[in-house]
Amino acid sequence: MLALSKGRYAARVAATPEDLRACQALRHRAFRAGAEGLDADAFDGICSHVMVEEARSGALVCCFRLMALSGGGEIRRSYSAQFYELSALESFSGPMVEMGRFCIDPAWRDPDILRVAWGAMTAHVDSTGVELLFGCSSFQGTEAETYADAFAMLKDSHLAPKRWLPRVKAPNVFRFAQKLARMKPDVKRAMSGMPPLLRTYLLMGGWVSDHAVVDRDLNTLHVFTGLEIRAIPPARARLLRGVAG
């Protein structure tokens, strides 16, 4: 079972119903602007849930869930497949894992939380032989114009290879690769608007869909994000494994 301790924080897999409810409560606060309640769905019962806690107090500061797939033939089982047409990835032959419902407690701002979360993810990838990590990366709010520079940067530099490119499935999408075809991004504005999770994916060589799904229920715009493990730059991989070790 995954267990990782670094500095102030420790990561572990949820082991009890109470652990899962704590994750669902944190997700609800993070996704519903601080409201109390539980964010739960049918995928919770078939996923593993990773918790990052402040070691001294035991406070849950971050969580995410993992769904293991033996290969692309199972991609339609994923959460992401509800929103993206992923048949191009059905030919991916290696083991995959979907990382979903990633959130950090809005009251905690320490960048080490994200580092420990990625260290835990790296330990899982290394121990299970995963070859593709994927999921949905969310921008807060549904006004695409707010993130025009970020989407233009994704269009210019980070689109999925054509052989893996997700196609449109959701009824309400922002086709940024098409809409912003002529726009040149302001790099500073683009990076300031990029969600931290997505920024980390991109630093490791990740890629995205050519459109964003408008999710009015969670008040987000999200892009499908993929990361082929063998494509991670060696220096970045060493840093992650340093945390994971």
* Contact status, residue 205 vs residue 157, Cβ threshold 8 Å: no
Residue 114 CB burial class (10 angstroms; 0-12, 13-18, ≥19): middle
* Contact status, residue 225 vs residue 206, Cβ threshold 8 Å: yes
Distance CA 38, CA 45 (A): 14
Q: What is the pLDDT along the chain (245 residues), one digit of tens a residue?
A: 577 888 899 999 999 999 999 999 999 999 988 889 999 999 999 999 999 999 999 999 999 999 999 999 999 999 999 999 999 999 999 999 999 999 999 999 999 999 999 999 999 999 999 999 999 999 999 999 999 999 999 999 999 999 999 999 999 999 999 999 999 999 999 999 999 999 999 999 999 999 999 999 999 999 999 999 999 999 888 877 887 76
Distance CA 76, CA 74 (A): 6
User: Which two structure tokens, joined as six digits, stand for 162?
Assistant: 């054509």
b/e sequence 161-174, b meaning 16+ C-beta within 10 Å: eeebbbeeeeeebb
Q: What is the pTM of this model?
A: 0.94
* Contact status, residue 73 vs residue 132, Cβ threshold 8 Å: no
